[in-house]
Amino acid sequence: MAEFISSKQHKPNHQLPFERFASSIRYTDFDFFKKDNDWIMYISDINGQFNLWRYNSSLTYEGQCSPYPLTNFIDHSLRHFFSSPIDNSLIFFADHQGDENFQIYKIDDIFNSWYEPITSDPTIRHEWGSECFSHDGKYITYGSNRKNPSDMLIYIRNMNREKDFCITDNEGWYIPGYWSPNNKKLNCSQLITLTDYAIWILDVENRSMEKINLEYEQKSKFIVGPWSVNQNGFYLLSDLNREFMGLAFYNIDTSKLEWILTSPYDIELIDISLDGKLLLWTENVDGYSKLYKKDMVNQEIMEITPTIKKNNKSIPLNGVIEDLKLSTNGKRIGIMMDMPTSPTNIYLIDLEKNEEDNNCTRVTTSLYGNLSDDILVKPQLIRYKSFDELEVSAFLYVPNNTNFKKINEKDKVKYGAILSIHGGPTAQERPYYDYSGLYQYLSNNGLTVIAPNFRGSTGYGKSFEKKIYHDWGGNELKDLEYAIKWLMSQDWIDPKRIGLFGASYGGFAALSCITRLPQYGFRAAVDIVGPSNLVTFVNTVPEHWKSLTNELVGDPVKEEIFLRERSPITFVDNINPLTSLLVIQGANDPRVVKSESDQIVERIREKGMDVEYMIFEDEGHGFTKYNNQIKALKKSAEFLLEKISS
């Protein structure tokens, strides 16, 4: 058991500045260059903003690379890219200061030319799908709300003629999928509701669309995947008649869905070799990713454990695989993995090596704080019962990596605690190096962090996820209350030193806690881009989101009274005088507009309560610029530490 200071309030021996934990580089997207798999490209904020980089992996050694920038944006953020299968060109999507009206750009030759825009209307949003280029490089596909802000339709652009056309002539939100091997067809998913998707096959030559009619009673999700080599169908992920996402194959000849893989966990990412002989996928097991491969010839399935060499020891990697790519030559797997003790890095797995041979090479270095392994905290997975006996899982970060079950009264230690609430809300708290090392900084400074997956979180089945639909500020708030009760039931937690942190939905939940659960006397709360008024929030989301937001949150016209009863702004008078609040907002946020933060801050200031307000004029829903990210999260970290440790 770790050694503790014998005092009422635990104080760490070494207080490292937040910058040590936040000295990191963010990586958000990567892929093998289609024409030459030795070249890898990725999106990173190495120069302070998300730009596109290339490097030759055959000329690097572990942890080091010499990246070459392909863009040099300052106020634009590069979000996603696709390389051409036939030449050195690529397509990418970028937006301006977080406005999410993504424009499309092209680089003709990544070795000899610079980018130029294909679209340039800042009022129109363009979205990417699973693939962009057709296999012959003649076409690209993307979504756009050009015709109507309420619709996201699919367009096909002929790269030779530089003209495009809309191929989905129905209203709705369509997401491009994958091209058939002969480039004549494209599959796509349509979001009808949050739980009801449709599958379409688009005929590019005839400019027509055909809906795939599957017989099922329950609404289901369908995320289309790659086509088979013989073009008789395609793979897809679905929760059809199941709690979790499984992998299936839709056979065009029989018009039937054939299950390939079913699991008691969500299958999240898939990829398949060009010859169709090797299938890859990941599964979400209690937030951690498991990677598998299947030989489609002999049907053999094998788990792949990425293993690197460190200090002459073979170390298996355990974290969240955020992206999965198989090289076109079928020899290497690329993954982006985030871990509790390391921000996202890119790793290459050599399929010709065994795990014992250290099959994995890290090709990026994301953390630069010179932090020793014994400083970084690994979360413990706990479970507690909510008010209705529903089991809720949570990640618990305890200072000094101490097993909380071994802390007893003899230690005389009392930790302050932070309840961290994830966004979404249909998302999942996972073992990330999250918020630029915020959890690590707080733990290093003697605070415990509990981060629950309350009802409505993904990863625990669709029934669990649906529990928050049309119930924001309802039973999930009770789940958060029972997380607080769990903390207070621990002898090693000081019940008078508890704070809150949340972004997006998490910001809404933090505001809900201080306004509707004031009896717990929260010392501090941080709200980053969180809604405060559900009526105005639903009225101001992007137009193509509104039907889905009405389902998830409520109808602002028909249910105004209900939404006001669930809004933090309604209960400002209840805030405990002991509570200090920090609100952080991006001025260009298209999802949670700035007025959501303005109105709650104004009301609290009218009451003479303690509130600080940070506005970032060049950001949207989150932070694309490195310096803004550090300013916001450093302020959050030091604010929580000051208020809760005092």
pLDDT at residue 410, as a whole number = 58
Residue 313: pLDDT band with limits 50, 70, 90: confident
Q: What percent of the chain lies above the pLDDT cut of 90?
A: 87
In this structure, the number of other CB atoms found within 10 A of the CB of residue 105 comes to 23
Same domain for 348 and 408, yes or no, is: no
In this structure, are strands 208-212 and 222-227 parallel, antiparallel, or unpaired? unpaired
Query: Is pLDDT of 12 > 70?
Result: no
**C-alpha span between 421 and 479 (Å, rounded):** 11
- Residues counted in the chain: 646
Please say whether the beta carbons of 377 and 439 come within 8 A.
Answer: yes
pLDDT score at 355: 56
Per-residue CA distances from 144 to 84, 121, 150, 221 (Å): 21, 11, 10, 22
- How many CB atoms lie under 10 A from the CB of residue 406? 10
Q: What is the pLDDT of residues 453-506, one digit of tens each?
A: 999 999 999 999 999 999 999 999 999 999 999 999 999 999 999 999 999 999
Where in the sequence is the domain holding 531, given as residue range(s)?
372-645
- What's the pLDDT score for residue 39? 94
Kindly state whether residues 329 and 429 are assigned to the same domain: no
Answer yes or no: do 280 and 377 share one domain.
Answer: no
Residue 596 lies in a domain: yes
Distance of CA 133 to the CA centre of its chain: 25
pLDDT digits (tens, 9 = 90+) for 500-526: 999 999 999 999 999 999 999 999 999
- pLDDT of res. 4: 28
Mean pLDDT within 24-48: 95
Residue 63 pLDDT greater than 60, yes or no: no
Same-domain pairing of 421 and 570:
yes
Q: What is the CATH classification number for the domain harbouring 422?
A: 3.40.50.1820
- Residue 144 has φ and ψ, to the nearest 5°, of -160, 150
- Does residue 573 lie in a domain region? yes
Sequence-separated contacts (24+) of 458-461 with Cβ below 8 Å: 458/266, 458/424, 458/426, 458/427, 458/428, 459/265, 459/266, 459/284, 459/286, 459/287, 459/428, 459/430, 460/393, 461/243, 461/244
- For the segment 278-290, the average pLDDT, to the nearest whole number, is 97
Q: Which residues of 616-631 are buried (b: 16+ CB within 10 A; e: fewer)?
A: bebbbbbbbbbebbbe
434 and 537 co-located in one domain? yes
pLDDT tens digit string along 172-223?
A: 999 999 999 999 999 999 999 998 999 999 999 999 999 998 877 678 999 9
Contact by Cβ (8 Å): 202, 209: yes
Of 316, 350, 366, which residue sits at a domain end? Answer: 366
Q: What are the structure tokens assigned to 224, written together?
A: 């289309």
Phi and psi at 54, nearest 5°, equal -130, 150
- Could you tell me if residue 243 is inside a domain? no
Q: Which residue has the tokens 């690529």?
A: 90
Q: What is the distance between the alpha carbons of residues 273 and 279, in angstroms, rounded to a whole number? A: 7
Tens digit of each residue's pLDDT (9 = 90 or more) over 562-585: 999 999 999 999 999 999 999 999
* Backbone phi, psi, residue 226, to 5°: -65, 155
Judged against a pLDDT cut of 80, whether residue 642 lies above it is answered with: yes
Domain-located, residue 98: no
What pLDDT is attached to residue 143? 98
Residue 235 CB coordination number (10 Å): 25
Q: Residue 6: what pLDDT?
A: 28
Give residue 373's pLDDT band: very low, low, confident or very high (50, 70, 90). Answer: confident
With cut-offs at 50, 70 and 90, classify the pLDDT of residue 614. Answer: very high
Domain assignment of residue 404, yes or no: yes
- Give yes or no: residues 303 and 389 share one domain: no
Domain boundary (319, 351, 366) is at 366
Conformation bin of residue 371: beta by default, left when phi > 0, alpha when psi is -120 to 50: beta
Establish if 183 belongs to a structural domain: no
- How far, rounded to the nearest angstrom, does the alpha carbon of residue 231 sit from its chain's CA centroid? 32
Cα torsion through 511, 512, 515, 520, rounded to 10: -100
Indicate if the pLDDT at residue 8 is higher than 70: no
Residue 130 lies in a domain: no
Average pLDDT over the chain reads 93
169 falls in which pLDDT band (50, 70, 90)? Answer: confident
- We report the CATH number of the domain holding residue 316 as 2.120.10.30
Residue 59: Cβ-neighbour burial (10 angstroms; 0-12, 13-18, 19+): exposed
Query: Does position 383 have pLDDT exceeding 50, yes or no?
Result: yes
Of residues 137 and 215, the one with the higher pLDDT is: 137
Tell me: pLDDT of 375 over 80: yes
State whether 422 and 473 are in the same domain.
Answer: yes
Question: Looking at beta carbons, which pairs linking 187-191 to residues 24 or more positions away fall under 8 Å?
Answer: 187/224, 187/227, 187/234, 188/129, 188/154, 188/224, 189/222, 189/223, 189/224, 191/548
Q: Residue 339: which pLDDT band, with cuts at 50, 70 and 90?
A: very high
- H/E element, 107: strand 103-107
Residue 387 CA, distance from chain mean position: 29
- Residue 279's pLDDT is 96
Q: Give every CB contact of residue 2 below 8 A, 6+ residues apart in sequence.
A: 400, 401, 402
Which candidate, 183, 97, 174, 94, places its Cα nearest to that of 142?
174
Looking at residues 283-308, what average pLDDT do you find? Answer: 95
For 622-635, how does the pLDDT look when each residue is reduced to its tens digit (9 = 90+)?
A: 999 999 999 999 99
The pLDDT tens digits for 540-554 are: 999 999 999 999 999
Q: Say if residue 604 is in the same domain as residue 459.
A: yes
What is the number of domains present in the chain? 2
Give domain status of residue 276, yes or no: yes
Q: Are residues 462 and 521 in the same domain?
A: yes
Residue 7 has a pLDDT of: 34
Q: Are residues 379 and 484 in the same domain?
A: yes
359 and 380 co-located in one domain: no
Whether residues 467 and 539 fall in one domain: yes
pLDDT at 3 over 60: no
- C-alpha to C-alpha distance for 639 and 646, rounded to whole angstroms: 11
Q: What's the average model confidence in pLDDT over 427-438?
A: 96
In the listed set 332, 366, 400, which residue is the last one of a domain according to the structure? Answer: 366
Q: Single out the residue of 278, 270, 240 nearest to residue 256, CA to CA.
A: 240
Torsion sign over Cα 500, 27, 290, 372: negative
What's residue 359's pLDDT? 79
